[in-house]
Structures are given as structure tokens and as C-alpha cells.
Structure 1
Amino acid sequence: MKSKQHQPELSESSRFNMKAMRTMNIIAISVFILAIIYKVFFDK
């Protein structure tokens, strides 16, 4: 019973971590793409 009570808490924390990781990855990728675009424009 106790293990079942602890499971939802762990799932919530893991879910929050997954969301944070996903948002961080999206931000990093967007910044990387923007940097490449700026480099291309400056090179031209």
C-alpha cells in the first residue's frame, strides 16, 4: 500500500523533470538554429 502511495509522487516528479528537460531541449535547439541563421546572414 505504501509503495502504491509513493508511486504517484515519483511519477509526478519524473513527469515534471521530463517537461523541464523537453523545454530546455526546445530552447537550446531554437537558440542553436537562431545562431546558425545569424551566422549565415552575417557571412553574406
Structure 2
Amino acid sequence: MEKSKIYLGMTMFGFYYAPDTPGYAELKAQVEQIFDQIKAGKYEAVV
């Protein structure tokens, strides 16, 4: 079975490294969750 592909836009990386962004903690947690799912093999990352 082929994995679903997920497109990672550069904005995701920007949120991760921009602590002055409003809602930073929530955005960082969401990005980490996506990266964890990629590591677990749920998705194939595409940039």
C-alpha cells in the first residue's frame, strides 16, 4: 500500500523557528505532531 504524501511548505519551518509569532506554542506543537507522523511512516514528506 502506498503512503499518503504530505506537502511541507516553507511556512511550517518558519513557524517552528519564530517564537515571536502569535500562537507560537500551538503552531510548534502542530508542526511537531506532523513530523512525528512522518517519522512513524504514516506519511511521505514532499517539499
TM-score scaled to structure 2, two decimals? 0.41
Between structures 1 and 2, the one with greater helix share: 1
Structure of higher RCO (CA pairs closer than 8 Å, 6+ residues apart): 2
Find the structure with the greater CA-based Rg: 1
Between structures 1 and 2, the one with greater strand share: 2
TM-score scaled to structure 1, two decimals? 0.44
